[in-house]
Chain A
Amino acid sequence: MADPMKIRAKLEGDVLDVRVLMAHPMETGQRKDAAGNLVPLHFIQTITAQLNGKPVFEAETSQAISRNPVFGFKVKGAKAGDKLSITWTDNKGDKRTDETTVGSG
């Protein structure tokens, strides 16, 4: 599995403010390495989030997103103790899932 994500989830009332830092090379397929060879396309294709097993966020993303990106979104109806799980998949079939438990904010 790829390197772990860093998830920050801050509860404000019942709105969960999520920011997740993902480790990924995010190659556009247009960059050339030091030897002059094209580095192949390698990017995160989907990002999904689940709260207590229920899908709350889905995104299809492209190679336009920067390396080691930070993704932010808000989820309504969250409370302390909820389990937040985030998964990304990339175009090479690699994937990564990380979880966190929502604190009392």
Chain B
Amino acid sequence: MIRTLALCAAAAVAAAAHVPPAAAQSKPPAVERDATTAEFEKFRAVLEADNPAELFEANGAELWKTPRGPKNASLERCDLGLGPGVVKGAYVQLPRYFADTGKVMDAEQRIVHCMVTLQGFDAAALARQPFSNETRTPDPVAITTFVAGQSRGMKIAPPQTHPQERATYAIGREIFFYRAGGYDFSCASCHGEDGKRIRTQQLPNFTRADEAIRSYQGWPGYRMTGGVMHTLQWRLWDCFRQQRFPEPGYVSDSLTALLTYLAVNARDQVYKGPGIKR
């Protein structure tokens, strides 16, 4: 279903001119923060001081430079968009178009691509158990955490210069507003309006530039529930689960489109690196 939608949307935008991102011209009024939310944010700030995510960042750094896999090669020639081996600043400039694959790719998708092409790992094997559990953290998760850490303190800046980058943004927006599943939910059902909340979680409005950053901020994130490291691939998978949607494919193009939509909306906001979650 998503694939058919993607093809329709692609055909529609193929003929369209440049599609501007959602950032408003005038600044909309700031979303109200109640006292409870303020307390939670203070609590989170204290937790961020010593974040177990650093342990996974260090693991990822090791995995990046260690020769591994059937080809016994390191990832130091992996091109994340800024040239082979350039990691600093790459995460915030993704998703982007890659000439060698002819498509727009996000961070984890590109890392998996490098693991497969440079190191000879099997993509299907990586997709079989892509997410962390209490006993195991998959290599792409640790590597993505390392790569994300190398963009700490930098502005979110995914390019929208290539026509495919703009088309991918448009597809991501279509998916964001697409209602489906048993509850007839879209991403926008929870994240398309100001002032929404589920239990104690305030729901940011990702269509606003100043709130879209909250989709990216803190991911990859160390989740204290279970003590596990998770990336945006997991977070979007969990969103689909919460919406009662079918499972998205690991590092599939529909997730790239959604990530493009979110990243472009969050443009110019400062990314603080891997975070910590409840």
Contact = CB atoms under 8 A, between A and B. Distances in A.
Contacts of A96: none
B227 A66 contact: yes
B135 interface: yes
Interface residues of B, number: 14
Contacts of B54: 6, 21
Nearest to A27: B134
B134 A21 contact: no
A19 B133 CA distance: 26
A3 B52 CA distance: 12
A66 B224 CA distance: 9
A8 interface: yes
A28 to B, nearest CB: 11
Contacts of B135: 25, 33, 39
Contacts of A21: 50-52, 54-55
Contacts of B222: 68
Given A19-B50, A21-B50, A68 B133 contact: no
A31 interface: yes
Contacts, number: 38
Given A19-B50, A67-B227, A25 B55 contact: no
Interface in B169-214: none
B119 interface: no
Contacts of B59: 3
Interface string A1-41: 00110101000000000010101011000010110000100
B13 interface: no
Interface in B27-68: 49-52, 54-55, 58-59
Most chain B CB inside 10 Å of its own CB: which residue of A6, A23, A67, A68: A68
Which DSSP category, helix, strand, loop or mixed, fits chain A's interface?
loop
A31 B52 contact: no
Given A21-B50, A25-B135, A31-B134, A68 B58 contact: no
A80 interface: no
A25 B50 contact: no
B58 A25 contact: no
Contact of B55 (A33, A34, A68): A68
A23 B135 CA distance: 12
Contacts of B227: 26, 66-68
A4 B58 contact: yes
Nearest to B57: A6
Interface centre among A23, A33, A34, by most B CB within 10 Å? A23
A56 interface: no
Contacts of A25: 134-135
B133 A70 contact: no
Contact of A6 (B58, B133, B134, B224): B58
Given A67-B227, A68-B227, A3 B55 contact: yes
Given A33-B135, A34-B133, A70 B58 contact: no
A68 B135 CA distance: 12
Contacts of A34: 133
A21 to B, nearest CB: 5
B133 to A, nearest CB: 7
Contacts of B224: 66
The 3 A-B pairs of least Cβ separation, nearest first, read: A67-B227, A68-B52, A70-B50
8 contacts: A6-B50, A6-B54, A8-B50, A21-B50, A25-B134, A39-B134, A67-B52, A67-B134
